[in-house]
Amino acid sequence: MPSVWIDPELLEAREALAGGLSSLNFDDMPASRAALAAVLPPISPGESVDVQDRMVPGPSGNPEVKLRIYRPSDSPAAAVLPCLYWIHGGGMVMGTLDGENANLGNIVQEVGCVAVSVEYRLAPEHPHPAPVEDCYAGLVWTAKHAGELGINASRLAIGGASAGGGLAAATALLARDRGAPPLVFQYLVYPMLDDRNLTPSSHEITAVGIWDRATNLNGWKALLGDQAGGDAVSPYAAPARAANLAGLPPAYIDVGTADLFRDEDIDYAQRLMQAGVPTELHIYPGAYHGFELAVRSRVARTARTLRLAALKRALGG
């Protein structure tokens, strides 16, 4: 098997990211989450963003779901803005609202929108369908309370990165199949879509150090248990399983060539196009999972520009 080429500008950040994940222990996720929280500094959304947290009704089995709402401070109180409903990443087993503050603070200022971020239950303590049902419940509440939040309900997009991208795609499937709420866009950053792990890249990416094959297998097992990789997995858990992608909102997908999710993301983008869904796909040579954290690299700057441009186009109409 050929070695995985990584953009030299990304090598230093790769070492830091790999070090941060080295303590990940799927046999004790609470301890792993605590260890990661201890080494991650507090993140601020910035002084130009107003932030509020809300507890909203959850799905069956979970009375409340926490949402965090971001709005540009300089937008008039009466302004009605488009909205990005955002789902954090973390391999289905980790991640928090706090970790998204900087990203969403930047997005609402650059795009001129509201962002709503959801704190969903995590596996393995809460396997499928808990995470996606939490995400859907928060989306439904956001759409129903759009007027209260100063949101244009006709300009509602959904997005996420990694596991959050997979959950965003799954939630979009739920919204289509349940008939509400209507979405105008899917913003899927290297999404985690396929529990089967059969693609060439899922076998190729074994030693990059950032969400490699073994880690991915464990993440899916945490979410699906013994069903992972089997025939009975729902597309609302693994969207790559969906037989019909027609009727979904337009999509943006990006992924790097050194990312485990490369081939499943390319395949999903192709299937969206074949189903008549307008889809924008970007593939970054030498980029691994989470590459944009190498903020000074040319590839990270390019990705940031193209992502924000796609959101502006989708939400600006």
- The residues annotated with a catalytic role in the active site are 162, 259, 289
Sheet holding 64-72, edge to edge: 49-57, 64-72, 114-119, 81-87, 151-161, 185-189, 251-256, 279-284
φ, ψ of residue 233 in degrees (nearest 5): -75, 135
Distance CA 168, CA 201 (A): 22
Q: Which residues contact 39 (CB under 8 A, 6 or more apart)?
A: 20
HSE (CB half, 13 Å, CA atoms) of 123? 23
**DSSP H stretches of helix in 67-199:** 101-107, 130-144, 146-149, 163-178
Beta bridge partners of 117: 68, 86
User: Which DSSP state fits 278?
Assistant: -
**Cβ atoms within 10 A of the Cβ of 217, count?**
16
